């Protein structure tokens, strides 16, 4: 059976860990040429050595640095041309109550999770539009569909991606370039260990974790379709539905499980 992405170029940010790494390996397995982008050169080189695949191109760049991303885009466009698929995956989190979230902390989340996504897509879009084809995938979260306590900054950044995607779809309608969003819930990655916290760590029960491989499979599925959005896990789909039906009930349940229980301890 022919590889689904043979001859196609995929650019992935946040490519050396978690969902980004799994997606990189999955696209390589399907025949794609992958431009893997991350901040750390050492981890990029280690991944390249492990993959042992000439179709893997590693590029060190920081999505929070506009100049770095512009230089990256110029290198990519000059060497391999406009990507066929962009997976804007790089992101950071923040666990903090709203009243403890400083301007600096909020700004750092928005810099990576919103502006970083813009910088991962905008430089390539003119060439994709000129070619008349391409797929842009933004990696959001279930908290981009329904905000939860202690994640106001992170939720705001992920909600912003949905507004960005809606506006961009209308701007480029009929161009041949499409935009999709992938919304995982909790995933078994390094994300929680790297998560910045203000105040004590939240001792809360988490839903069953996705594997990074299952999220990568969803990304591949979205890359071959024009579907607007996919929400992963039955629990996340249920929360979205109940929030649409009775948002006040979800407020109460989230307070009980994530706020009230802590106050009682």
Is residue 154 annotated as part of the catalytic site, yes or no? yes
In whole angstroms, give the CA distance from residue 37 to residue 179.
20
User: Could you tell me the CA-to-CA distances from 130 to 126, 170, 172 in Å, in that order?
Assistant: 6, 17, 11
Question: For the purposes of burial, counting CB atoms within 10 Å of the CB of 167, is it exposed (0-12), middle (13-18) or buried (19 or more)?
Answer: exposed
- Integer-rounded Cα radius of gyration of the chain: 19
Q: Which residues contact 141 (CB under 8 A, 6 or more apart)?
A: 154, 158, 183, 184, 185
Q: Which of 124, 151, 154, 173 is catalytic?
A: 154
Q: Which residues contact 155 (CB under 8 A, 6 or more apart)?
A: 143, 144, 147, 148
What's the token pair of residue 175? 């161009």
231 bridge partner residues? 183
Residues carrying an active site annotation: 154
């Amino acid at each position: 059976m022919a590889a689904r992405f043979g001859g196609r170029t995929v650019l992935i940010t946040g490519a050396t860990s978690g969902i980004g790494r799994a997606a990189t390996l999955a696209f390589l397995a399907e025949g794609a040429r992958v431009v893997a982008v991350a901040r750390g050169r050492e981890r990029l080189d280690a991944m390249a050595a492990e993959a042992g695949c000439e179709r893997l191109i590693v590029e060190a760049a920081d999505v929070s640095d506009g100049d770095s991303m512009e230089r990256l885009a110029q290198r990519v466009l000059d060497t391999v041309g406009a990507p066929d698929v962009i997976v804007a995956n790089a992101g950071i989190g923040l666990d903090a109550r709203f009243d403890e979230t400083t301007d600096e902390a909020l700004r750092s989340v928005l810099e990576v999770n919103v502006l970083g996504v813009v910088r991962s897509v905008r430089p390539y879009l003119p060439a994709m539009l000129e070619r008349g084809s391409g797929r842009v995938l933004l990696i959001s979260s279930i908290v981009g569909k329904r905000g939860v306590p202690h994640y106001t900054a992170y939720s705001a950044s992920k909600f912003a991606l949905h507004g960005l995607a809606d506006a961009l779809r209308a701007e480029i309608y009929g161009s041949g370039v499409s935009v999709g969003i992938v919304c995982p819930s909790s995933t078994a990655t390094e994300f929680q260990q790297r998560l910045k916290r203000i105040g004590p760590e939240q001792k809360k029960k988490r839903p069953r974790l996705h594997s990074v491989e299952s999220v990568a499979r969803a990304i591949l599925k979205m890359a071959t379709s024009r579907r607007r959005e996919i929400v992963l896990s039955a629990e996340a789909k249920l929360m979205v539905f109940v929030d649409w039906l009775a948002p006040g009930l979800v407020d109460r349940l989230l307070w009980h499980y994530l706020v009230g229980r802590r106050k009682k301890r």
